[in-house]
């Protein structure tokens, strides 16, 4: 059913209180207009219905590192097929303040307060190479209310709980939808700092059960600019209880920080093709006013017992290969890095200053910016003649070896340069790679 009091989120992300009625009308008209469309949606099995459930269970308590008491509320979904889920969680601000999940510091940033439970979605994340399941764009924290808007990350591909589906709206359109079965799936945990701890820990069961309340919820299917909302009349399943017997002991204060070591580790992930050829990292540093090569590290470098010195390389059946590296470097310097691999365009001139105290510096962040630390840097394959471009000259060179039946030993390194994916032949899959990367640049 439609609730006229409910805030309406406009497509540009603002909560639109005044325009609520107007948008509702439009939605209702839209439903009429979309009768045929609805049939289409149902026929492709993305729909929202009123049996779906959002439930909140709390509070789990623990002491944060700074000695403050932190209370967690777990949010679960069940039986939901929708492109988004909204709910409003009212909290008693005499005892609870939204806090950063990681530190328990009070916050007004919904994204910092909530932590995704990625476990049920691991397979989807892995396949999509995405690092988060939900977008919390419209979520916000008010003085006694958290408005939550859970929308699946549009970059996630079809698999399990997240589904990419086709709809007609009226144009053909792809939607990313949640596809949660009727068993409870715990999706996010919300963090609150407990204030007035002494009184809080003496609250009765009834008082505790009034600490959190869900005001309204909706799940919906967005089709282009139109939003079909489905509200549920039945009160949400909100359980608040505290097992004071199981509050862990206060942590001992952290030990004084140790003197920083003289080295730090440069970590990161790079990717390319051909597992038989190493990734090569040339590391330069400024000395006496000019750049000098400090060291060259290869992904295949190992000690005498065969232990890899600089991290792990893994690859797929097709030859796509990744190197997750960790390289010790001296502090007190500025570095510039060049990454290379046979028949790939060099990735050059990533510069950074060694950290003063941290023991780790992320190369991918230094190269691509904050938040990109989990994203592999992909080297472009196909630069067979090593001129820094993938062009017709590489194709001409490639054609000399294409589908040649002679053993690769005859041609040695020339052959290896043209076997882009390293499967032992110079074949159509290499050609395909070459074409994909034609004229491509970083
Ligand atoms: Ca080239
Ligand atoms: Ca090949």
Q: What is the domain-level CATH number for residue 299?
A: 2.60.40
* Strand pairing report for 134-135 and 69-78: unpaired
Q: Give me the pLDDT at residue 425, please.
A: 87
Question: Does residue 38 share a domain with residue 176?
Answer: yes
Residue 3 in any domain: the answer is no
Ion ligand 1 contact residues with beta carbon within 5 A: 383, 385, 387, 389, 394
Strand-strand pairing, 263-273 and 8-9: unpaired
Å from CA of 129 to ligand 2 middle: 25
Please give the distance, rounded to the nearest whole angstrom, from the Cα atom of residue 161 to the centre of ligand 2: 36
Is there a single domain that holds both residue 184 and residue 316?
no
pTM value is 0.47
Cα 271 to Cα 363: distance, rounded to the nearest angstrom: 13
Q: Is residue 96 part of a domain?
A: yes
How remote is the CA of residue 14 from the centroid of ligand 2, in Å? Answer: 51
CA of 278 to the centre of ligand 2 (A): 16
Instruction: Report long-range pairs for 221-224 (Cβ below 8 Å, ≥24 apart).
Output: 221/41, 221/46, 221/47, 221/48, 221/82, 221/83, 221/175, 221/177, 222/83, 222/84, 222/175, 223/34, 223/37, 223/41, 223/167, 223/169, 223/173, 223/175, 224/169, 224/171, 224/173
Q: Answer yes or no: do 272 and 143 share one domain.
A: no
Question: 337, 355, 378 — which closes off a domain?
Answer: 378
**Domain membership flag for residue 130:** yes
Ligand 2 centroid – CA 408 distance (Å): 11
Residue that finishes a domain, picked among 221, 246, 271: 246
Number of domains in the chain: 3
- Please name which ligand lies nearest the alpha carbon of 392: 1
Task: Answer yes or no: is 257 within a domain.
Answer: no
Are residue 356 and residue 399 in the same domain, yes or no? no
Quick one: which ligand is closest to 438's CA?
1
Nearest bound ligand to CA 394? 1
Smallest-distance ligand from the CA of 402: 2
Length of the chain equals: 442
**Residue 91 within any structural domain of the chain:** yes
Contacts of 262 (CB under 8 A, 6+ apart): 330, 331
- Is residue 427 in a domain? yes
CATH code where residue 141 lies? 2.60.40.680
Same domain, yes or no, for 422 and 315?
no
Q: Are residues 285 and 236 in the same domain?
A: no
- Residue where one domain finishes, among candidates 378, 400, 420: 378
**In angstroms, what is the span from residue 425 Cα to ligand 1's centroid?**
20
Reported in sequence order, the residue ranges of 181-319 that DSSP labels E, i.e. its strands, are: 185-194, 212-223, 226-231, 237-240, 263-273, 280-287, 290-298, 311-315
CA of 387 to the centre of ligand 1 (A): 5
Closest ligand to Cα 417: 2
Which domain does 362 fall in, by range? 263-378
Ligand with smallest separation from the Cα of 383? 1
Expressed in angstroms and rounded, the spacing between residue 394 Cα and the centre of ligand 1 is: 5
Kindly identify the ligand whose nearest atom is closest to the C-alpha of 318: 2
Angle at 205 between CA 141 and CA 183, to 5 degrees: 65
CA of 61 to the centre of ligand 1 (A): 59
Tell me, yes or no, whether 129 and 272 share the same domain. no
Query: Looking at the structure, do residues 219 and 110 belong to the same domain, yes or no?
Result: yes
Are 236 and 98 in a shared domain?
A: yes
- Cα of 117 vs centre of ligand 1, distance in Å, is 45
CA dihedral in degrees (286, 292, 293, 294; nearest 10)?
A: -50
How far apart, in whole angstroms, are the C-alpha atoms of residue 68 and residue 118?
26
d(CA 239, CA 242) in angstroms, rounded, equals: 10
The single-letter DSSP state of residue 232 is -
Ligand in closest contact with the CA of 430: 2
Query: Whose atoms come closest to the Cα of 276: which ligand?
Result: 2
Is the domain of 284 the same as that of 352? Answer: yes
How many angstroms does the Cα of residue 422 sit away from the middle of ligand 2? 5
Give the distance (Å) from ligand 2 centre to CA of residue 400.
14
pLDDT of residue 238: 63
Q: Are residues 203 and 150 in the same domain?
A: yes
Identify whether 442 is part of a domain.
Answer: no
Residue 386 lies in a domain: no
Distance 156 CA to ligand 2 centre (A): 30
Residues sharing a CB contact under 8 Å with residue 407, sequence separation 6 or more, in sequence order? none
CA–centroid distance, 416 to ligand 2, in Å, is 9
- Ligand 1 center to 395 CA (angstroms): 9
Q: Give, for all 442 residues of the chain, the pLDDT tens digit.
A: 333 333 333 333 333 322 222 233 334 434 444 444 444 443 333 444 556 677 788 788 888 888 899 999 988 888 777 778 888 888 999 999 999 999 999 999 999 999 999 888 888 888 888 888 888 878 999 999 999 888 888 888 766 678 776 665 555 667 777 888 778 889 999 999 999 888 888 888 888 888 888 777 776 666 655 666 665 545 456 666 666 555 666 666 667 776 667 899 999 999 999 999 999 999 999 877 788 999 999 999 999 999 999 999 999 989 999 999 999 999 989 999 999 999 999 999 899 999 988 899 999 999 988 877 778 899 999 999 999 999 999 999 999 888 776 556 566 778 889 999 998 888 899 999 999 999 999 8
Distance 393 CA to ligand 2 centre (A): 18
pLDDT attached to residue 304: 93
Residues 19 and 141 placed together within one structural domain of the fold: yes
């Amino acid at each position: 059913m439609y609730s006229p009091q409910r805030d309406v989120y406009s497509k540009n992300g603002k909560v639109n209180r005044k325009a609520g009625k107007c948008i509702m009308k439009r939605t209702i008209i839209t439903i009429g207009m979309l009768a045929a469309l609805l049939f289409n949606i149902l026929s492709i099995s993305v729909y929202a219905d009123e049996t779906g459930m959002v439930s909140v269970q709390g509070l789990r308590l623990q002491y944060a590192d700074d000695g403050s008491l932190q209370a967690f509320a777990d949010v679960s979904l069940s039986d939901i097929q929708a492109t988004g889920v909204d709910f409003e969680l009212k909290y008693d601000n005499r005892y609870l303040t939204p806090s950063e999940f990681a530190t328990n510091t009070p916050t007004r940033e919904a994204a910092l307060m909530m932590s995704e439970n990625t476990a049920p979605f691991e397979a989807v994340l892995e396949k999509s190479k995405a690092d988060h399941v939900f977008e919390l764009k419209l979520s916000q924290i008010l003085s006694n209310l958290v408005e939550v808007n859970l929308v699946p990350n549009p970059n996630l591909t079809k698999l399990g709980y997240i589904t990419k589906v086709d709809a007609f709206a009226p144009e053909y359109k792809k939607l990313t939808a949640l596809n949660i079965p009727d068993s409870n799936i715990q999706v996010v945990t919300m963090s609150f700092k407990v204030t007035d701890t002494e009184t809080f820990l003496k609250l009765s069961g009834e008082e505790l059960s009034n600490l959190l309340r869900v005001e309204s919820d909706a799940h919906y299917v967005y089709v282009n600019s139109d939003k079909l909302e489905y509200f549920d009349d039945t009160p949400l399943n909100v359980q608040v209880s505290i097992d004071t017997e199981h509050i862990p002991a206060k942590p001992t204060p952290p030990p004084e920080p140790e003197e920083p070591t003289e080295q730090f580790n440069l970590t990161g992930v790079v990717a390319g093709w051909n597992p038989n050829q190493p990734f090569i990292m040339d590391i330069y540093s400024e000395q006496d006013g000019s750049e000098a090569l400090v060291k060259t590290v290869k992904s295949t470098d190992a000690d005498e017992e065969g232990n890899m010195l600089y991290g792990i390389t893994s690859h797929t059946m097709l030859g796509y290969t990744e190197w997750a590296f960790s390289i010790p470097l001296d502090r007190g310097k500025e570095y510039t890095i060049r990454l290379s691999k046979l028949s790939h365009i060099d990735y050059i001139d990533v510069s950074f200053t060694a950290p003063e105290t941290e023991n780790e510096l992320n190369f991918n962040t230094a190269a691509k910016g904050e938040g990109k630390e989990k994203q592999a840097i992909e080297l472009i394959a196909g630069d067979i003649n090593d001129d820094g471009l993938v062009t017709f000259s590489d194709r001409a060179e490639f054609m000399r070896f294409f589908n040649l039946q002679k053993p690769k030993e005859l041609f040695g390194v020339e052959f290896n340069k043209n076997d882009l994916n390293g499967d032992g032949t110079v074949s159509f899959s290499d050609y395909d790679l070459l074409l994909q990367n034609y004229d491509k640049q970083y």
